[in-house]
Amino acid sequence: MQTLNTSGPVRNIVIVGGGIAGWLTAGVIAARHQGPMKSGFTVTLVEAPEIKNIDVDEGTWPTLRTTLEKMGVSETELFRRCDATFRQGARFARWTTGALDDGYYHPLMPPQGFHQVNLAPHWLEQPGNRSFCDSVTPQGALCDQGLAPKTVATPEYQAVANYAYHLDAGKFAPFLQKHCTERLGVRHVSADVQSVRRAANGDIAGLALKQGGEVTGDLFVDCTGFAALLLGKELGVGFRDCGDVLFCDTALVVQVPYETPDDAIASHTISTAQSAGWTWDIGLPTRRSVGYVYSSRHIGEDQAADELMRYIGPQAKGLAPRKIPFRGGYRETFWKNNCVAVGQAAGFLEPLESSAILLVELSAKLIAEQMPANREVMEIVSARFNEVTHYRWGRIIDFLKLHYVLTRRPEKFWRDNTDPATVPGRLKNLLQIWKYQAPWLLDEFNRLEEVFPAASYQYVLYGMGFRTQIDPCDNDASRPLAVQHMRENAAMAGRLRAALPRNRDLVRKIQDYGLQPI
């Protein structure tokens, strides 16, 4: 075994595994350290030539706009090369009662004046059936009408209404690879890892390649997917299963062509509850990506396939779903010795709120910004990374479970989800508090590590019929400001509906003319 120099600088970063996780991590690190890269800092990505990634069309979060902009990626080229469309949130259909008119939005815009006043208590005291979303943000109305979040005159990455993307995952990874290698100086090694050479202190010193040669580095990033080749298999870090909280463990996926080239493209993810899980439905320029995420403990594959085909309707004829089993959970630790896991090597949760790419972004950003100066301080940096990342995974599990615990659907899958024994303790406590106090900024949502802010909890809670007991007298001081913001929201909704194009129309214009570079 080799003895490493712990005082030497961390200069050579080796990422093992490609796909979206590997190339996005490479791009974030390389872009952040472009200056040092000119004086010896290197980013190398080792990718097995024969491994095929699980290419499932993806939904993203608005954070990806900032990430790609900092990497120097053209948003116009993203749309042209990755079949991207706009995503303004998600609509959850039939999650509460199962009725045909049961549905609510989780938009990407916060309520009006969110940092000035909590509109939830004021909405709760109003009579009528106007939804919480429509009362506090125009984005649900924009999604109802299939409108885009900007115009072709809006510069790249800028927004009229906050947005993210739907994109073709199979095209996104090669797009990132080309940008990273040609623009950011990332070295690409197409080879299989045959064995791992360890140092005396247990660190990874180098990777012997099946095709010959060795790749050495100071910090290794495991992006090898579910295999977790470095952190899991080589360093022996265990996996923490969360199947006792989130039951879904299988997806059936199919690509559905549009009936006509002019069919509307939904500007949001459509998540529809089924008997033992839920279907996603996202629109790309030439097709819809539809999948059924379900619990194999509650339904068989044949029955699940039948439900998926019924959801799709006549267009399902001749389509054959692809089965993707998965295990929900995450690593017991994410950074051990000089190896850190990102993407599915770190863990995986059902894609209910499009958190997979978001977690890659957050981890890559944290690695890039807190890059240890040398091996001596790496233990301190890794301890902070593990603390933050554990917190984030825990909060995402809480938020995903929130979508299930308020249901009144009768099927066994849904009833089992309301069993208090399956609800994380922190979420139980918050639900108790929220009976008497609406979520807001200071309600345990003020940490930088939060993935889903208090606004997201409000949209799900009140979308599913949760009621907070309020005393109208408590709203007296803030009522004038709240009324003002609700009026402004109604006026804004009218203006945006009149000004914004259809989602498909804007995507076409971007393809033809491009967006204005910043």
What is the full DSSP assignment across 373-397? SBGGGHHHHHHHHHHHHHHHHHHHH
If you classify domain 12-82+165-242+328-395 with CATH, what class do you get? Answer: alpha beta
Q: 194-208 pLDDT, tens per residue? A: 999 999 999 999 999
Q: How far apart are CA 272 and CA 408, in angstroms?
A: 15
**Is-above-0.85 flag for pTM?**
yes
Q: How confident is the model at residue 38 (pLDDT cuts 50, 70, 90)?
A: low
Mean pLDDT, rounded, of the chain: 94
Q: 43-100 pLDDT, tens per residue? A: 999 999 987 766 677 899 999 999 999 999 999 999 999 999 999 999 999 999 999 9
Q: 371-422 pLDDT, tens per residue? A: 999 999 999 999 999 999 999 999 999 999 999 999 999 999 999 999 999 9
Q: How confident is the model at residue 449 (pLDDT cuts 50, 70, 90)?
A: low
**Cβ proximity of 164 and 61 under 8 Å:** yes
The first and second tokens of residue 492, run together, are 């804004």
Say yes or no to pLDDT of 1 above 50: no
**What's the gap between Cα 215 and its chain centre?**
31
> Which residues share a beta bridge with 271?
92, 280
DSSP state of 241: E
| Residues written for the chain | 518
Q: How far apart are CA 250 and CA 241, in angstroms?
A: 15
Say yes or no to pLDDT of 303 above 60: yes
Query: How much is the CA Rg of the chain, to the nearest whole Å?
Result: 23
Q: Is 386 exposed, middle or buried (0-12, 13-18, 19+ CB in 10 A)?
A: middle
Q: How far apart are CA 44 and CA 182, in angstroms?
A: 13
For CATH 3.50.50.60, list the domain ranges present in the chain: 12-82+165-242+328-395
Q: How far apart are CA 262 and CA 2, in angstroms?
A: 62
**So what's the pLDDT on residue 53?**
64
